Amino acid sequence: MGGTSPLLKFSFKKGEEVKVEQSSLLKNYMVMSGSFNPVHTGHFSLARIAQLKASQRNGIMFEIALKNADKGVLGDPEKISDRILLIEQLQKDYSDDVTVVLSHEPLFLQKVTYLSQCSMVLGHDTYLRLLDTKYYNHSQEKLKEALATFKQQGTTFVVGGRICADHVFHTGEVQMIPEEYREMFSFLSEKEFRQDISSTEIRAKTNKF
């Protein structure tokens, strides 16, 4: 199973010019997918900790999904450019090489067609959506088929937690995962990662993006 859709790929490496190219298959990255509206230090910190936990040798990749299963289409070139530039600016405070990819696949099951042996870092809410049968025609069997595809592609997941409405720190509950696929998931404790910051809060304070 290989990727076929061209991806626009931006590579930010220390001391080098930004490299822009097209790609159809990405291997051995720690992938953080989202709209990044806006990206913030919490994204970078979570991706970095997850990358160390998963030992992905090609570093961190931010995948900006131009189509989102819940938020619709991001089609404004200026907004896309702003998000890429902000990632570039924040990357300068980190020692890691960072790659940004623009894709059109809204669902994780579609994203893995161009990922091989990658790990995906998920926040608590994204973890819940990944296992929600709403995105699999409301079918538990379709969900299991998707998990089997992830396993076939060598995909693993690192899950970070957050403080929820009950004022308690929640990370993923392993019981939500069918037992035969639990080994694909690892969970960061509150001690390993906690940053009380969100894009939603930033937008509310700045009235931007």
Q: How many Å apart are CA 26 and CA 7, to the nearest integer?
A: 10
SS3 123: coil
For the segment 109-139, what is each residue's pLDDT rounded down to a tens digit?
A: 998 888 889 999 998 889 999 999 999 999 9
Domain ranges of the chain: 7-206
Q: Which CATH architecture has domain 7-206?
A: 3-Layer(aba) Sandwich (3.40)
Alpha-carbon Rg for the chain in angstroms: 16
| Greater model confidence, 54 or 57 | 54
CB 37 within 8 A of CB 21: no
Chain CA centroid to CA 204, Å: 23
Q: What is the mean pLDDT of residues 33-46?
A: 87
Please state the pTM of the whole predicted model. 0.84
Q: Is the pLDDT assigned to residue 1 strictly greater than 60?
A: no
Q: Are strands 119-122 and 156-159 parallel, antiparallel or unpaired?
A: parallel
* H helix or E strand, kind and range, residue 145: helix 140-152
- Given a contact cutoff of 8 angstroms between Cβ atoms, the answer to whether 13 and 100 are in contact is no
Residue 194 CA to residue 163 CA, distance in Å, equals 9
What are the pLDDT digits (tens) for 60-73? 899 998 888 888 88
